[in-house]
Every structure is written in C-alpha cells, then in structure tokens.
Structure 1
C-alpha cells in the first residue's frame, strides 16, 4: 500500500481524503498496526489503481490468521457508521471547484508540467468520490467537474507538444458532457478539440467543429471563444470572408459577454477581452492584414502588461508579440521586431511551450521571406530563434 501510494505521488492525508477515511486509522493500516476491513481495502485498492491486488492480499492474510468474523463484522459496522456520519473527509463539489479555479488560474502564468500531476490527482479524487455512490445531484456536479478537469488536461498536454494524447483527453471530456446532457461542457470540449486540430495542420476541420460547437454553446465568453477560433482557422485556409464574418461575431458576442458554469471558474476556463484581442490579431496576421494585426496584438499585450499578474498569460502574450514582430518585419522595422520579441526570447526553457515555438518559427519564416534576409539584424535574430526552437524540439 505504501509503495503504491508513493508511486502515485500521494501523501497519507491525500489518500485518506480520497477514500473518505480517518487519517490516523489509515496510517495504522499502512504501518501494519491494524487490518483494514474488506470495504476499506477495496476503497484503497481503487484509489491506488491496484487492480484488486490489495484486496487479494487482505483476503489471503485473513485466511492465514483466522480473524474472528464476528469481530470483523462489528468493526465494519462501526466504520460504516463513521463513513455515514462523517462530513469533514467528504469530497464535495465546492472543494473540487476551488481546486479547479486555483489550477485554472495558475495554468495562465505557471509552467505546465506541475499542473499535470495536480490535475491527475484531482481526477483520481473525483473518481474515488463517485465510487462511494453519492446522491444523484452531487454525483452530477462531480461528473461535470471531472469533465472540466479532463479538458484542462487536454490543454496542458497540447502545450507540452503531445496532440494525440491531448485529443484523447478532449474527446473524453466531450463524451462525459454528452452523457451528462451538458451542452456547455460539450461546446467547450469541442472548442478545445478544434484548437488541437488547428495547431496540428487540420484548420478546415477545426473551423467546422468550432462552428458546430457554437450552435450549442451558451451565450457569453464561450461564443466569443468559438467565433475567434473559427476566424483564425478560416484565415489559415484563406477563407477571408468567413474569417471576417467570424471576427464580427466574436466582437459582438464580447459586448454582451456573461459567465456560465465553466467560465465562472476563471483562469484557463475564461476567454477575456485580452485573449480575444490576441486571437483576432493572429487572424488578421494570417490574412496578411498586418496593420489590423498589430493593432489587436498590441491591445492584447497592453492588457496583459497592465492587468493582474495572475491573469497574465505568458503563452498568449508571447504569440501576440510574435504577430507584432511579423508585422514589423513586413514593414522593414527589424529593430522594432527584435524589441517586441525580447521578452519571448528570454522565457525560461520550461515556459517555451509548443505553441510559442510554433509562433517563433512563423517569425523566422517571415525573416527568411523578406528582402532584408541578409541584414545582420535579421541573421542574428534568425539564429537566436533557431537555437531556441531546436532546443525545444530536443526537449
């Protein structure tokens, strides 16, 4: 039990909370001072993904030491009563929502790898709580929060450069939403899947999926997000009219933006004006409309620079800076391009997520296509970008 708990990165307190059991009693079980009941053994086995091995060990031990069945039954009744009456150890939806809010907010500005373990642990806690057969209303809340947890796993996984695994997460979140009959979660998960497709050379399919998701998404920031995704995907495949129409819808939706069950959690589950500005800047840049692109991208950068630190998305800001740099390269402002990119080039390696590497490659492509390609500033900037992106690829 201790070996499995350690392998899962769980403390004894976390495991106790996972199975809704007393911390002291669990510690005595782990130290061999107390034999668990069949029910507790099963709950520990599930929480630690032991595949029944812990349950079988307990059954074998019982057959060897001849525990008195009557004493065991009495102890089980006591523990059953403790479980029924206990409230402090129960995982409730408010706890999960608070943790998701904390993770979602940190997702915006923190490095991604530590968030993976927190999200996996939270998913495990939700799964263990659902194994206790909670009341239907509470179960529905926990299932919804589990779907949101999995969607965040999709975002982190994509940022780490694993699109296939990210899409599996997104599809799982979507399946949960469909089963739950929750169009808000379904639309958000489909939007996540569209983003994964967009970043992995499937913009036409992503555009169609974003438009489909918008037909069921609640009013507010979800509509802003989906229209912005559709616009950028349309720009990638040269559908100028479609892109402009989607830009208009995104701006109109932002004027009356409201929160739903997902966006009210905040952080990565929001689509604020700063994020819309970054998306629209990228869309105009892909359409070759560099003046509009720089205006929107600079608006996004200013919003991130002047807003709260906890809402400053280093990824989105870096990509907005890349869009401005490309516009300046096209107008021959090489020093200005380097200046706007300086904070991106100084990002620590753990923050050079896959989308940022892709954005820097787009800048390098713009450098190579300009008639200033042989300028010393161009060559120096290109070499620096290549060094950073190649090191990201090796990682």
Structure 2
C-alpha cells in the first residue's frame, strides 16, 4: 500500500475530510490532495504530522518512500537547503519572514558569485534553490509572503537562464526566461521583467541578430524603472547592438546616455552583483562598443579597462571579466592596425580558462580578422579548437580554423 492510499483510508476511517486535515496540520488544502493521490511525497516531518493527527501509531509514516540517493557533489547544496529549512521550522511558520530573508540573501550571494564562478557550477546551485522555492509554493502564506517568494523565483530563473546562455544551452535558457517573465508579471516586478528582455537582447547580439537586439534593449528600457540597473544595462546593450551594424551616431548617443545615467551613481556595496550596475562596468562596455564601431580611441580605452580589472585600486581582481576585456582589446588593436599584438592578446584570453561559451564567437571573430591580415595564427587556432572541444560546450570552431 502506498502512503497516499493509506492516508485516504485513515481519513475515511476517522471521518476527517481533506479540508479539516489541512486545517489541523496546518497546510494547504491542495497539498493534502496531491499527497493523498500520491502525486507528491511529503517530507518526513509532514508524514509524521499526518500520522500523529490520524493516530496511526507510526504505520502511516513508515510508508513514506526513502529519498533518492544524492550525488556527492550535491552535498554542499543539500546542506544549504537544510539550513534554510531549519530557519523555516524554528520560526514555526509555513514560510515566514526569516525563511524569505534567507532566500533573498542567498539570491544576492549567487548573483554576486556569477562573475567568478564557472556557469555549470553556479547553475547546479541555482537549480537546487529553484526546486526549494517550488516546494515552498505549496505552503500556506500571506499574500505579501507569496509575492516575495515569487520574486525570489523570478531572480533565480533569470540567473539560471544567464548560466544556460553562457553554456550554450539555448532551449533551456529560453524556457527559463519565459518563466522569469511570467513570475515578474505575477509579482508586478518591472525590473525582473526588464532584465528578461535585456538578457534576450544580449543573446540576440551574440547570435548576430542586431536589429532584434536593438528592439529588445529598447523594450527593456520602456519597462524598467528609469535609472535602475536594468535600465542602464539595457541602454548599454542598445549601444553595443548599434555598434555591430556600424551605426556610429546611434552608438555614441547610447554611450552618452549611459554616461549620464552612471555619473551620479555611488559604488554599490557589492559591485560584483550581476544585477546591480557597477559604474566601473560601463568602462568595459564602452571599450567593447568603441572596438566594435572601429573607433581609434578603443585601444587605449580597452588597455585601461584591462589594467583596472586585473589590478583594481579597491576590491578583488575580476579575472573572468578581464578575459572578456582581452577580446575587446584584441578587436581594438585590429582596428588600430596592430594585428600581431591582437593575435597575442586573443591567445591570452583563449588560454586563460576564464572564457564562457557565450563569448567564444567573439574569439572566433578576432581569429578571422587576424587571418584576413595574413598574420600567422596557428597557435591561436589550436588553442581555440581545444577550448571549443571541451566536453559539454557544443560549440563549433571558427570557419577555416
């Protein structure tokens, strides 16, 4: 006999309705329904509570199936989830402020870890927290608590989509962006909704669909609260898209708007946070944009950005962002007719171990431009092939590489 079958039998025998049992636990009425139909396995604590209310003497709790074995790599994340669950239970609430605050802090921690954590590793952690949030949706809570939980789910879905894009997992990224947008609409959270459009604009930019990238970036600006991090990032993304089509006036207009928005901003308390605009980030975006539009000022600008990322006056170095900045510098050096140094700089980026798959196309672009100048690029090509051949990348090498 299954847990759900015995639960239904005991409810009938004791004359306890589904609604009354839910009130006695207490829990959501729909949750009892799913457990009774064996659509959801209760936690050990909930199984014991059902057993106690129905006076089953431990027979009902004994029918709870054992949890599936967890891989060793998941243990640290299991510990993290268990800590959150302990807070929830200590608060004697189905969800409660302490649990929600802990989840919100965890989201901030993971968004701050994004620039320095391999995307596959971060995605594993984000997915486990998404599962925890999904499980909590069955709990009884106030409307305000539910909105906070939905917002947490929105940020986690957005961050998971970003990791998926970094890994070249585009169908999964598209699904998670849709989820993030739906959760943002349910919670009436325009900034998350704007970030979903900005993230799609970035993806279209990497796919070479520059016109759509402009449209999406502008759409994000229309939705985002003016001056918010999403608004600034979407404006910068618009400038990058204009640069890709060689539209210099539109590019410079976007860069000027970003500069005006960033000028009054203080340094955030966690500048590494992926969804809090760091004024220093605008320098890196400007370097990329100037390099793409072929501005002669791009090379010295990109050198300055790279130096600040590797040896900052305050805070830690940003090695992953520095690897990307090397590609900006390589492209700028090509525009300045310095292809030999460009090839060497691109090689440093490719062999750094810090590039994510969503940036491979930029390396391929530099390689193609170096070869077009008849500069030997055998070592660079070989390094690129090795990078793209790593298991799980699913990325092809550049044409002719």
Q: TM-score, normalised by structure 1?
A: 0.72
Contact 1:220 1:256 in 2 (8 A): no
1:385 aligns with 2:384: yes
SS in 1 for 2:141: coil
Residues 115-264 of structure 1 correspond to what in structure 2 (within 5 A)?
Answer: 115-218=122-225, 219-257=227-265
Q: How many residues align?
A: 332
Give 1:273 shift: 2.7
1:71 aligns with 2:71: no
Give 1:155 shift: 0.5
Give the Cα separation in 2 of the matches to 1:134 and 1:225: 34
SS in 1 for 2:137: helix
Residues 84-123 of structure 1 correspond to what in structure 2 (within 5 A)?
Answer: 86=92, 92-123=99-130
Instruction: Call closer, same or farther: CA 1:346–1:383 in 2, change over 3 Å.
Output: closer
Contiguous gaps of at least 5 residues in structure 2: 1-24, 61-87, 397-401
Give 1:296 shift: 3.4
Contact 1:194 1:209 in 2 (8 A): yes
SS in 2 for 1:267: coil
Give the Cα separation in 1 of the matches to 2:52 and 2:341: 81
Give the Cα separation in 2 of the matches to 1:144 and 1:43: 22
Instruction: Call closer, same or farther: CA 1:162–1:132 in 2, change over 3 Å.
Output: same
For residues 107-140 of structure 1, give each alpha carbon's deviation from its aligned partner in whole angstroms, at most 9, with x where no partner exists.
1111111211211111122222221121111211
Q: Which has the higher contact order (CA 8 A, sep 6+)?
A: 1
**1:306 counterpart (306, 311, 318):** 311
For residues 295-324 of structure 1, give each alpha carbon's deviation from its aligned partner in whole angstroms, at most 9, with x where no partner exists.
33223322321236756250x322221121
Give the Cα separation in 1 of the matches to 2:283 and 2:52: 69
Give 1:266 shift: 5.5
Instruction: Call closer, same or farther: CA 1:106–1:44 in 2, change over 3 Å.
Output: farther
Give 1:205 shift: 1.1
Give 1:92 shift: 2.0
Give the Cα separation in 1 of the matches to 2:261 and 2:172: 31
Give the Cα separation in 1 of the matches to 2:32 and 2:110: 26
Give the Cα separation in 1 of the matches to 2:52 and 2:89: 22
1:273 aligns with 2:279: yes
1:369 aligns with 2:372: yes
Give 1:158 shift: 0.1
**2:293 counterpart (287, 294, 317):** 287
For residues 253-311 of structure 1, give each alpha carbon's deviation from its aligned partner in whole angstroms, at most 9, with x where no partner exists.
11123699xx979622223133222222222222122x222233223322321236756
Deviates more, 1:202-211 or 1:265-274: 265-274
Contact 2:329 2:345 in 1 (8 A): yes
1:329 aligns with 2:328: no
SS in 2 for 1:257: coil
Deviates more, 1:235-244 or 1:107-116: 235-244
For residues 37-74 of structure 1, give each alpha carbon's deviation from its aligned partner in whole angstroms, at most 9, with x where no partner exists.
9979x969989xx961647xxxxx9xxxxx89852499
Contact 1:220 1:258 in 2 (8 A): no
Contact 2:343 2:367 in 1 (8 A): no
Contact 1:284 1:292 in 2 (8 A): yes
Deviates more, 1:96-105 or 1:225-234: 96-105
